[in-house]
Amino acid sequence: MRILVAEDDEDSRVYLEQALSSQGYEVECAENGAKALTAIYNQTPDLIISDIMMPRMDGFALCRNIKSDEVTKHIPFIFYTATYLDSRDKKLGSALGADRYLEKPMELLDFLEHVKAVLQESQSPTYQPNKTTRLPEKELSQLYEDALSRKLDDKILELELEQDKIKRIYASSLVEIEKKREVEVELLEKQFLLDAIVNKTQNVLMSIKHISGNYLFINDYFQEAFNVARFQVIGKKGEVALPANIAEALKKDDSLISENSQALYFQQEIPHHNGKVHRYTTTKTPYFNKEREFVGVITISTNITDIAEK
């Protein structure tokens, strides 16, 4: 039996490879979802085991690609994650067609039992890929964007709290220097995780706008899609920093977001810098500072053009 492991953490990747190889499985590893997808089309595995938070393409996007393709949707899929543990994340995993949603860390023997069971199930004549009820595409996109939004909110809040913690430590006596260093290392690790969410997620536009309309943040994909650099956009309104048709599409329904409003979900068309119009599902939610004051709008838009064209 051949198993593909998608895991960006090298130690975890080596551990899983050795553990599975010891059971007689042939194992191939990929450090992100994009490389895993290429490997799958080069040689079809009997099972995919994937982390969720990975650069370039996360585990949710990988599963979505696999399960929406007639050629690969039969491959059993296991999520193995330490970060996306909300019940709504597990609902998304099931809706995407995953056979198991396992939480790290797990006892090795228990983990191997799950692997063995899924492989046995997939070999049964009665095995049905995508055995869970598939949700409508719009609801699936909303679940995915909600998961990203929750993780983004969590990391932003964690960073703000850590920054306050560092300020307090700096104000203390010199005997606290070592403690400050440890906090800074922890902050860097969290900043790395935040970067993995907002900048390495494939085909997802992320931005934060102040209530004045000025951009406070844009991610890497935003820069790529609209051929702009951060310094050209941050601190400016969209109609100043971007072509008029793009700015108009991006500010759709911003005025409906307020301190007490619910998140807005909708599909829209957004032109890219090359003139091609792409289809997106968009989520807009209120953005609060650390004092919990409403200061702007968080927008997360997932490019579903390729899926919509299938």
CATH assignment at residue 150: 3.30.450.20
Q: Six-digit token pair at 206?
A: 């992320």
**Mean pLDDT over residues 5-19, rounded?**
94
What are the angstrom distances between the C-alpha of 161 and each of 93, 158, 289?
30, 5, 11
Looking at the fold, whether 149 and 121 belong to one and the same domain comes out as no
pLDDT on residue 132: 44
What are the start-end ranges of the H helices in 172-265?
177-198, 220-226, 230-233, 238-241, 244-250
User: Do 145 and 292 share a domain, yes or no?
Assistant: yes
Q: Are residues 275 and 292 in the same domain?
A: yes
Alpha helices in 132-176 (DSSP H): 137-171
178 pLDDT band, cuts 50/70/90, is low
The residue among 134, 164, 189 that closes a domain is 134
pLDDT tens per residue across span 25-74: 999 999 999 999 999 999 999 999 999 988 888 898 899 889 888 899 99
Asked if residue 279 and residue 148 are part of one domain, the reply reads yes
Same domain, 157 and 298: yes
The predicted model scores a pTM of: 0.57
Asked whether residue 207 falls in the same domain as residue 239, the answer is yes
End position of a domain, from candidates 83, 103, 134: 134
- How many domains, in total, are found in the chain? 2
My answer on whether 153 and 284 are in the same domain is yes
Asked if the peptide bond before residue 105 counts as cis, ω within 30 degrees of 0, the response is yes
301 within 8 A of 205, measured Cβ to Cβ: yes
**81 and 39 in one domain?**
yes
Which residue segment(s) compose the domain that 46 sits in? 2-134
Q: Sort 158 into a burial class: Cβ within 10 Å, 0-12 / 13-18 / 19+.
A: middle
pLDDT given at position 36? 94
Whole-number Å distance between alpha carbons of 171 and 38: 51
Shared domain check, 273 and 224: yes
Among the candidates 88, 105, 134, a domain finishes at 134
Amino acid residing at 92:
L
